[in-house]
Amino acid sequence: MNSKLPLKVGDTCSFTKTISESDVYLFAGITGDFSQMHMNEEFMKTTPYKTRIVHGVLTFALGSTASTLIQLQVNSPIPSVSYGYDRLRFVKPVYFGDTVTAVYTVTEVDEDSMKTFAKLEVLNQHGQVCTVATHILKFIPA
């Protein structure tokens, strides 16, 4: 049976970015999240982290880029929208200056519901998993 959807189990892509201080400050300005965990170096020296950490949601957002890139990679003829993320966890902190890679891997294709499910992992430059989630992509036929 030919698939109606352009993605198949095992399809993968990634997006890599070094997170700068300006990225964090711009993100804080956009979201209004000026938590001292992200903004106050002196306070963070008193915590187990010893330095400021990147917003978890900022690292997670790189997965959205990967989900767009995989559709470009397969030249998807069907438009789609993000249907949401399940089981999102921030399992390890990301620090200013870390280079992170969002790896997006299709794990399930549901032809009937026109959805694909993918494992999203954001890893730091040491290969350590920092953020995980399951992404659901909903295809919208013309």
| Domain edges within the chain | 12-139
Class of domain 12-139: alpha beta
pLDDT, residue 2, reads: 55
pLDDT, residue 31, reads: 97
**Local confidence pLDDT in tens for the 142 residues of the chain:** 456 899 999 999 999 999 999 999 999 999 999 999 999 999 999 999 999 999 999 999 999 999 999 999 998 899 999 999 999 999 999 999 999 999 999 999 999 999 999 999 999 999 999 999 999 999 998 7
- The packing angle between helices 56-73 and 21-31, to 10°, is 100
SS3 126: coil
> Does pTM top 0.75 for this prediction?
yes
Nearest CA-CA partner of 61 in 135, 1, 126, 112? 135
Distances (CA, A) of 64 to 37, 40, 46: 24, 28, 33
